[in-house]
A = this chain, B = another copy of it.
Amino acid sequence: MSTRDTGTEQLIRDTAKHLFFAEGKLHATTQEIADAAGVNRTLVNYYFRSRDILFDQVFNEAQEVFSSTLDEVFESSMPFKEKIRNLINVFIEETTQYPYRQLFIITEMNRDLVLYSKRSRVNKVKSFIEEIQLEMDNGELRKMDPRQFIINLFSLMAHPLITAPLQQAIFGMNDDEYAKLMEERKELIFETIFR
């Protein structure tokens, strides 16, 4: 079965991702996805056969992108501080674009049914943990469980973007003002992490 590739399949996938990850419309129906993509709903079934398959594809892709983003950082051979600086830039950039991606992953994980690939990333992080431990031994970082360091780092990066609507309500800020605050965070996080 050769293909003529009208781009529709990818359009649907991308639109779904945008609704889920960027707009946080976790309940989006196939009709809503089709409408947002400007195509006939039937095409969702034509290309993906079922709603679940589309969801699975988006879910798996999300996991892979998320994973490989981490791996790139974990496995790069830059000096530690540079590596962190790079991570902050890349991660915040991605999370700004797709703030609800992690949220989507977690929601799908909590949905039973879904048999998500549970292959842990233990091995991949291991070297990163060792590297952090080394920095602590050398007095470059405050001593703590290296996992706590990682959790701190990701919390400071991701959470304000995931909860943007709430934060904006609390502080009474509009989108632009909040975006500016997030931009300032890049440096701030770096300083906070390295005390």
Number of copies of this kind of chain in the complex: 2
Q: Which residue of B lies closest to A19 (CB)?
A: B110
Q: A106–B181 contact, CB under 8 A?
A: no
For window 128-186 of A, CB contacts with B under 8 Å fall at 142, 144-145, 147-148, 151-152, 154-156, 158-160, 162-163, 165-167, 169-172, 181, 184-185
Q: Which of A9-17, A22-30, A39-47, A83-91 contacts B (4 or more CB under 8 A)?
A: A22-30
Contact of A156 among B111, B147, B155, B188 (CB under 8 A): B155
> Contact at B165–A110, with CB atoms within 8 Å?
yes
Nearest-neighbour CB distance to chain B for A46, whole angstroms, equals 25
Size range of the chain A interface in the assembly: 35 or more
User: Which one of B145, B158, B162 lies within 8 Å of A181 (CB-CB)?
Assistant: B145
A23 contact from B23, B110, B162, Cβ within 8 A: B110
Q: Which secondary structure dominates where chain A touches chain B?
A: helix
Look across to chain B and name the residue whose beta carbon is closest to the beta carbon of A23.
Answer: B110
Given contacts A159-B159, A163-B106, contact A122 B171 (CB under 8 A): yes
> Does any Cβ of B come within 8 Å of A4's Cβ?
no
Q: Are B171 and A125 in contact (CB under 8 A)?
A: yes
Whether A34 is near chain B, meaning CB under 8 Å from some CB there, is no
Is there a chain B Cβ closer than 8 Å to A105's Cβ? yes
Q: Which of A107, A118, A145 has the most CB of B within 10 A?
A: A107
Interface of A with B (CB < 8 Å)? 23-27, 70, 100, 102-103, 105-107, 109-111, 118, 120-122, 125, 142, 144-145, 147-148, 151-152, 154-156, 158-160, 162-163, 165-167, 169-172, 181, 184-185, 188, 191-192, 195
